Structures are given as structure tokens and as C-alpha cells.
Structure 1
Amino acid sequence: MRLIVEGWRFISQSYAVVNQFQLLELLNRPDVQLYHREMPYLQDWQAATGLLSPAEEAQLRTIPEPPDSLQSEAVLRMQMPFDFSPSNHSRHLVVFGLTEYGKVHNAMVQCMGVSDFGRVHRQSEATILTSSNWSRQGFIQSGADANRIRVVPLGVNPRVCHPLPGEERQALRRRLGIEDQFIFLNVSSQHPRKGIRPLLKAFAQVVQRHPQARLVLKGTTGLYGSQKYIQSALDEVLTPQERDRVLANLAYIGQDLSFAEVVQLYQAADAYISPYLAEGFNLPVLEAIACGTPVICTAGGPTDDFTQSSFAIRVTAEQIWQEICGEQRLLFNPDIESLIAAMERVINDRDFRENANHLGSQFVQKNYTWSKTVDHLVNVLWSSMDHFADVVPV
């Protein structure tokens, strides 16, 4: 199969991260002849090196750009805004996308340059590829043709994302200077929809009763300006006393780290926490589970697809429609007391943490490696072509 991927590489934006991992796996498929067209970055994003290993980045650079005359079995678009316009390379078009707010929000529709998202999809021949059942429902809510929406989850590389043996983990924690602390970790843009406000509010209470608790926030200052979201949350949702307690036990990492360095954060942490308000998949939760780290996350959203009670605590959350940027968007409202209880449980329940270390990583290796999810992707690419009579033969 000749496959052309149109998307982003060499930045830490989530679509680019997914694209790069999928491309690396597709390169292992002898039955896939792979091409890649780099699409323009949004805003003032700058390409960076060192996010993946030198060997992986070299592999990504070896993927040829498709000649203008090339005809392929499929085109896969991995970028924003969503683009359903016909491809010159193939009638079979698959567009990757996520919905976080229960629908395709107006800003995305405006960036697409259309007035009705659902009508545009229904009038196209494109298949939507998305990563969770929650996200799929958002596309349906926006009027997309449900028969042309496929769910293929994201994955992990188990050779990189795995638990460390006890002595190696303790040595890592010593190097990081956290051996006597209980580390809650969150890796995200720190945008309000990621749950920074309920997280800081709950942590202010937890650290008062558990002074060994520390909160590590991994954001991206260059790409997202993450620090401004944290500062706003500190100033607007905490009392002066709560703010002082949190700041004394808070660490922020804003610089770009390699994926291997982020994995070390997962491996060193005692718990991963994500009380999100809106998400399309939430890959860091899956990566943390693969590394043997127990997770705390919002109940009812996309993480329901890949979390179980043996290694995850789901925080009770109310679904509410709220006006944002002049439109109604669907948000989760995590219950603060449920969040505090989850954080205290994971601190106090050593058996839960030890079981999560084994059961979570085993679950991910069985179900959510990039190898397995790209198997699903390839099947979707083939099956979605069945209705085309003029598919280019291999």
C-alpha cells in the first residue's frame, strides 16, 4: 500500500507527537510504501531537535516527500485545522482529529473556513480517524457522518515506557532529589481545560495534611506559554494561605525535554494526576500507566476507554455546558472532595500503588502498544477503501 501522510513532525504539539510515533511504526511495515509531506506549522511554532532519539529523528527524515504525480491508495492528514478537501493523490482520504468539548468548537470551524462542519464532512468522501469514543461522539454531535468515523486509540512504545526495577527507580529518584518525597506529576500544556485549577485547589488541601507531597508540572513554555496558565490559577483560585502552601511544594518544568526524559518523570513519580475538564484522548495518562505509575483522572471522558480500577482512580465529575468564547462547550467539573480523596488514597495505599505498577503496565502492553494500534490503523485504511472502485493497485 502506498500511503501519503500530510502532517507535522519535530515539535511537541500533540498531533505531531502522534504523527511521529505512527510514522516510526509504519516504517516497520514492509507492505507500506510511506511518504510524508510536511505541512505549515501554526502561529510561530519552531521545529526542534532532540525530542526523539537521534536515530528516530534520522528515520523520520528519511521518509520521502511524495512527487506531485504520485497516486496512492490513501492519504492520511495529521494536522489542524481539519481539511476535507479532495486530495490530488488519492480519492481515499482519512483525516485525523479530536474533539475535546463534546463537539467541534467554533474556533476550529472558523479556521477551516466553513460555516457548517457536519455538512462539509457529509458532502466529502473523507473518513474521520479519532482516538476515543468520547471524541467520536463529539464529531457526531457536530453533524459528521457516523458511518465514516473510525476510532483507533493511541499507543506507547513498551521498550521505552515501562516500569523501572526497584533499585533503578530509587537511583533515579536520588538523582532527581526526590527520594523522600511523594510526587504527583502532570504533563500537559497547563491550559485550564487540562485541570490545573482543580488540581491546585485540591493539592493545597492535600499538602496541608501530607507535607511530604510535591506537585511537579511539566508544561511547555515555548509552544504554549504554560507558565501563564499556572500563574493565573495560583492567583485566581487559591487563598493567600493556600497559595503559599502550594508554592512551597510545587515544581514547574517549562523547557522542552526529550521523550526519554519525560518517561523518566513518569517512572520516578509516585502518581500521575489529570483532573481534566476537556480532552480528546490524554496520551500522558496512558504513558504513565505503561510506566507502572498509578493514575488519577476524570471519570466519564476519553480515559474511560483505557483505565481500570486496578491501576486508576477515576474522579467523580459533573458534565456541564458552559459558555466559552461565545459558544456553549461541554466540560467536566471534577468534584474537589473526590479529587482530594483520590490523592490521599494513593498516598496512603501502598498495596494499590504496587499493584498498579504491575497491572497497569501489563494492561498497556497487551492492548495499547504502537504496534497494535497501527495494526488497527492499517486495517482502517484498507477497510475504508472498499467502496472505491478505482483504487490504485499495489
Structure 2
Amino acid sequence: MNTFIQTVDQPVKFNWEGSLFVHHSLGMVNRELLSELILDKRLDPGHIAYEPDQFLPGYSSKYQNLLKINNRKISGAAVHIKHRWPPDFSKPDAERFILMQPWEFGSLPQQWVDNINENVDEVWVYTSYLKMCYVQSGIPEEMVQVIPCGVDPLLFNPEIEPLQWVKEFSRGRFCFLFNGGTTVRKGIDILINAYLSEFKADEPVCLVVKDSNMYSKELAARIRELALRNDIASICYTEENIDYNRLPGLYTACDCYVHPYRAEGYGLPIAEAIACGKPAIVTGAGACLDFVEPDNAFFIKSTMEKIDEKNIGGLVTVDSPFGVVPDMKHLQEVMRYVFNHQQFAKELGLRAGQRIRSDHTWKHAARRAAERIIAVASGNTESVWQLAAAAENYLQVGDLENASVLYEKMIALFGDNGTAYQGLATIAFQEKRYEEAFDLFRRTNLLMPDVSEILVKWYEVAKVLGRTDELAKPTRRALEICNNDYRLIQLAEELFRG
């Protein structure tokens, strides 16, 4: 899977503009991606900082190799990538301009759209949800590529020693955790109200709130006050700047991660917590759906909400900004369910963690970024639809090898794609690689949950492996979306017979 790699005659020169050794999330993303990209022999990276370093990596740090390119711009670069805040849309002195830019509020600022369409060759976003926001705001779909975030599985895993101060605070009680800015956007108000409405002071439960210095302290003072009280369910508030290498111990010290966000560009703490084997309660919409699967987390019901004024922080937006609003009452119910079913939640978290550590790593993200850098530098104008049509033609005439190459090329150049996964699953099934076919049909279903053809083919593989029970939830979800599809109805009758 994903064995397609573009070749180059000589390394592609590119400059990455965005700070590395600073204490904010964009700096961390820059470090993680560049520390992988610098190892790719097809690439020759340079770097441009725009704010002073706040720290430097130690001798044994995996970021040590970045010191040789830190703030060293390469001349004659074919590609210039900007990933910084605030964004800079001015055209750089390179042949191609890639803008990597998160945004959490739905509709984009009109000025961004105008500048992107005038100056930028390609836009990178963290998630499919963010891509949808860009496209709906007026950026051509073919310009927008998903370059995800990820986790380091060597650092974020269940074997990491828990932070001692958290264990001392929890004292054996069931411990919920929130890690992020205590802002309305991240839903901390919904979490605090749900927690205090559901749990009482005499119950063996606690909530740890790890605030971030990156964000304004909208609600921090009130949470500090609540943390001092002993007549309500226990809360611990901290804004300690935990070293990145110690951060996994925060997750392993707790029992369940909760993140009822209204708007996120990605939601990295969610991925980190799951990678550490913790069950996650998260908003069942928006950015996290790219890496949180319905069967491996607890989703909070939510509704879409628009803001009347087309303005965010003084930026006039194309349309009304929007986000999702988690249902607080449902969050209470889910938190209570997890508290009452701790062993089930624990097993679910461990299973979800295996998937995150396998499929959603910085290596995967950097591999995707590398293929896009090379494609943009070469002026490659192939579209995903052209590749899909060519692959389908090969598949129809039985040329499985060439079909596989093109399907893998689709994923390498354009990211997760249901058509590509379905094609690869069909090939794996024909070649009797049943375990691989099962996993590929699972991935296809996540991207195309209401397509009965996929579920029917997946069921055929599942029968060979004796794993038909794993299709129960996906089939029920598909019926909720499309309850008049006779193929789905027939499948459900066979699956649930007896």
C-alpha cells in the first residue's frame, strides 16, 4: 500500500517559511514535517523563520538535524511553502508558491480568497473538512490538497510513564482530561457545565484541565475558582508548559480524553490522546473525522450553527462563519456511560490507539507533503479524475499491476480517496489477499459510508475471514443515511438473520 514514489533527476529545492523552535502548534507542525522531509533524498530543503527561536533542540533530540537548515534560505528554490500566523500571501521569489493555512471558522476571509486566487499555486490544509471550507469559499477544488498532521508513535503510546502529579491528584478516581486553550471555540464551557451537571462531589471522578499559553484566557479565571471548591465534582486546572517529550505522560495518567470543540483545524490533542490508548469523547462532526473513526471513539451529537455577521476578528468573510455546537446533555450522557463502562472504554481506546499509531503518523503526512512538493515543482497537472479513469480501464482489462500503480499514485498525490481504496481492495480480493482487502474496504467505507456496493463487496471478504460481525455497525449507519437501497436491505437481512 502507498508504494508509489515519484522519481527526480536531481533533488528539488524548496524553502519552508515558518518558525521551528517556538512554543506554538504551527511551530510543532513545522518541526515534525521538516524533520521527516529533510531525510528524503529527493528534496533539498531550506528554511525561513519569521520570529525568534524560543529554544533549541538538545543533542539527542530528533530535531537536531533541523539546526543545519534553521533560518537558512536556499537560493534558486523551485517551491516556497509558507506555514505561519498571521498568513503572508505575498508572492515569494520561487517558481511555485504553496500556502499551508489552517482556519477554524468555516467561511474564509474574502481577502484571503482574493490573495490565494491571485498569488498561490497550491493550498495545503490539515483535513477534508477544512478543504470543504476552502472550496465553498471560492478556492478551486484542484488547488486544495490535504496534508494532515500526525503523531509520533514512539513518543505517544500507552507504555509511556504517567505524570506523577496527575496520579497524585486523581488518587485512583476515574480521570477525564481536556488539553487545549480554555476558549469557547474549543468547547471548554460545554465540558465544564456537562461535567458539573452530571457528577457530584462524592463520586470517584475528576477532571484535569490543561490550559495552553497560546490562547487567551477567556474562561480560565472561572475554572480556577471551580478547582478550589470541594463541594462539587473535583477539577484540577493547570497552565504548566509541559515539555513536549513529557506530554504523553499527561494522557497516560488519565482515563478518558474529552474535547467537545465547536471549531478545530485538526484537533491534535485528540490524536495524541488516542495514540496513548485513551478512549476519546469528541464532537461527532468537523475536523477530527479524518482520523477518529465512529467505532473507535464516543461521538457527541452536534448541530451546525452560523454566525449572523460575516466577520471574524475584523476579517470580512465570504459568507457567514460557521461551526458545530455539541449537545451538552448528550455529552453528560456519554461521560456517564464511559464512567459506568470503564473496561469497555479502556479496550476501545487501546484498539483506537493501534489504528492511530499505524495510519496517522508524521511519516505518513511528510510522505504526502513530499509527493506534492515534487508534483508542484514539476508542473504535474494530472488530475485525480484522470488517474481514476485510467486505473479503471486497466482494471477492466485485467491489468492489475498497472491499475494498482495508478490507484496508489492517486493516494500519494491527492490523499485518501474512496475510489482508489476501492480499486486496491478489489485487486487485493482478486489476488486472495483477504486481510488487506478487508482493511481497504474498511477505509473505503469510512470515506463513502452510504455506498451499498462497497458494503456488499466488503461482506464477501468478511465471510471468507469469518469477520462478518464487524460489518454490523457500518451497515446500520448506511441504512440511516439511505434506508431505501434494496442492496443494503438485502445485506442487512442476511447479516442480522437469526
Cα 1:269–1:257 change in 2 (3 A) is same
Deviation (angstroms), 1:54: 5.7
Counterpart CA distance in 2 for 1:246 and 1:52 is: 45
Aligned with 2:191 (options 186, 199, 210)? 199
Q: Structure 1 175/243 Cα, relative in aligned 2: closer, same or farther at 3 Å?
A: closer
How many angstroms apart in 1 are the aligned matches of 2:326 and 2:58? 34
SS of the residue 1:310 aligns to: helix
Match of 2:31 in 1: 20
Q: Distance in 1 between matches of 2:247 and 2:371?
A: 31
Separation in structure 1 between the aligned mates of residue 302 and residue 265 of structure 2, nearest angstrom: 16
Cα distance change of structure 1 residues 298 and 26 upon mapping to structure 2, 3 Å threshold = same
Residues 111-148 of structure 1, C-alpha deviation per residue, up to 9 Å, x if partnerless? xxxx6322222222421100111111121232222211
- Distance change (3 Å), C-alpha of 1:52 and 1:348: farther
Q: Please point out which of 112, 115, 128 is paired with 1:120.
A: 115
1:177-209 Cα offsets, whole Å, 9 max, x none, are 434111111111212101011011001023228
Question: For residues 52 and 351 of structure 1, do their structure 2 counterparts lie closer, same or farther at Cα, with a shift above 3 Å needed?
Answer: farther
Q: Does 2:26 correspond to 1:7?
A: no
Aligned positions of 1:344-359 closer than 5 A: 344-359=336-351
1:29-108 to structure 2, matched below 5 A, reads 29-40=40-51, 47-49=53-55, 55-67=61-73, 70-88=75-93, 90-105=94-109
**1:321 and 2:306 correspond:** yes
The 3 A distance-change label for structure 1 pair 51 and 139 is farther
Whole-Å separation in 1 of the counterparts to 2:268 and 2:200: 30
Inter-partner Cα distance in structure 1 for 2:58 and 2:360: 20
- Of 233, 252, 263 in structure 1, the residue corresponding to residue 248 of structure 2 is 263
1:86-119 superposed Cα distances (whole Å, 9 cap, x missing partner): 211x2111111112111224xxxxxxxxx63222
Does structure 2 conserve the Cα–Cα contact (< 8 Å) formed by 1:271 and 1:293?
yes
* 2:234 corresponds to 1:230: no
- Aligned residue pair count: 363
Distance apart, 1:72 and its partner CA:
1.6
* Amino acid across the alignment from 1:135: L
1:330 aligns with 2:317: no
Contact 1:196 1:233 (C-alpha < 8 Å) held by counterparts: no
CA gap of 1:287–1:141, structure 2 versus 1, over 3 A, is: same
TM-score (norm 2): 0.67
- Greater alpha carbon shift after TM alignment, 94-103 vs 208-217: 208-217
AA aligned opposite 2:97 = L
Of the three residues 178, 181, 186, the one matched with 1:189 is: 181
1:155 is matched with: 150
Q: Which moved more, 1:202-211 or 1:250-259?
A: 202-211
Tell me how far apart the structure 1 counterparts of residues 47 and 87 of structure 2 sit (CA, whole Å). 17
Q: Check whether the contact 1:286–1:364 (CA below 8 A) recurs between aligned residues.
A: yes
Code of the residue aligned with 1:200 in structure 2: it is I
Aligned Cα RMSD in Å? Answer: 2.9
SS at match of 2:278: coil
- C-alpha distance after superposition, 1:313-359 (max 9, x if no partner): 11001111124657742121111111011111211213322322331
Question: Partner residue of 1:305?
Answer: 290
Is the CA contact 1:204–1:246 (under 8 Å) kept in the aligned structure 2? no
CA distance in 1, matches of 2:253, 2:264: 25
> 1:67/1:284 Cα in 2 relative to 1: closer, same or farther (>3 Å)?
closer
Bigger Cα Rg: 2
Task: Determine which structure has greater relative contact order: mean sequence separation of CA pairs < 8 Å that are 6+ residues apart, divided by chain length.
Answer: 1
Q: How much does 1:245 deviate?
A: 6.3
- Do 1:74 and 1:94's aligned partners in 2 also have CA atoms closer than 8 Å? yes
Report the residue type matching 1:3 in the other structure. Answer: F
Q: Distance in 2 between matches of 1:50 and 1:356?
A: 38
Residues of 2 paired with 1:229 and 1:81: CA distance?
Answer: 24
Q: Which runs of 5+ in 2 are unaligned?
A: 1-11, 382-498
Instruction: Tell me: CA distance 1:126–1:316, structure 2 relative to 1, closer, same or farther (3 Å).
Output: same
Q: TM-score, normalised by structure 1?
A: 0.83
Q: Is 2:353 aligned against 1:361?
A: yes
Q: Given the superposition, is the C-alpha separation of residues 101 and 341 from structure 1 closer, same or farther in structure 2, using an over 3 Å criterion?
A: same
In structure 2, how many angstroms separate the alpha carbons of the residues matched to 1:198 and 1:220? Answer: 18
**TM-fit CA distance, 1:73:** 2.6
Relative to structure 1, the CA distance from residue 347 to residue 250 in structure 2 (aligned partners, 3 Å threshold; closer, same or farther) is same
Amino acid corresponding to residue 66 of structure 2 in structure 1: L
Q: Could you say if the C-alpha distance between residues 175 and 270 of structure 1 is closer, same or farther in structure 2, counting changes exceeding 3 Å?
A: closer
1:62–1:151 distance in 2 versus 1, CA, 3 Å? same
SS of the residue 1:159 aligns to: coil
When residues 355 and 67 of structure 1 are mapped into structure 2, their CA distance, relative to the original with a 3 A threshold, is: closer
Partner residue of 2:335 out of 337, 343, 347 = 343
